[in-house]
Amino acid sequence: MVVTKESIIGDVLDAAPDTAPFFFEIGMHCLGCPASRGESIEDACEVHGTDADELIAKIKAHLAKKDA
């Protein structure tokens, strides 16, 4: 899976549910909410005052470990 700022959170979670803790870390505790699942990573990070590039890097590193 390719994860970018434009990736929809619900799509990321559907493909890799074990990435949820990374979203929790930025304060996004409403992952089951349809509105939050439909947001892009960039939009969610903006709302929660965090760096989208940093979150994406963490998710990509996690996914790379799983594929190794």
Give pLDDT, residue 54: 96
Has residue 2 been placed in a domain?
no
The total domain count for the chain is 1
Has residue 21 been placed in a domain?
yes
34 vs 6, residue with greater confidence:
6
- Banded model confidence at residue 6, pLDDT cuts 50, 70, 90: very high
Has residue 4 been placed in a domain?
no
- What CATH number should be reported for the domain holding residue 17? 1.10.3910
Tell me the per-residue pLDDT of 33-49, one tens digit each, with 9 for 90 and over: 777 788 999 999 998 89
Tell me the per-residue pLDDT of 19-35, one tens digit each, with 9 for 90 and over: 999 999 888 877 777 77
Per the structure, the complete domain to which residue 48 belongs is given by 9-67
Give pLDDT, residue 27: 85
Short-list 6, 28, 46, 34, CA closest to 19 = 28
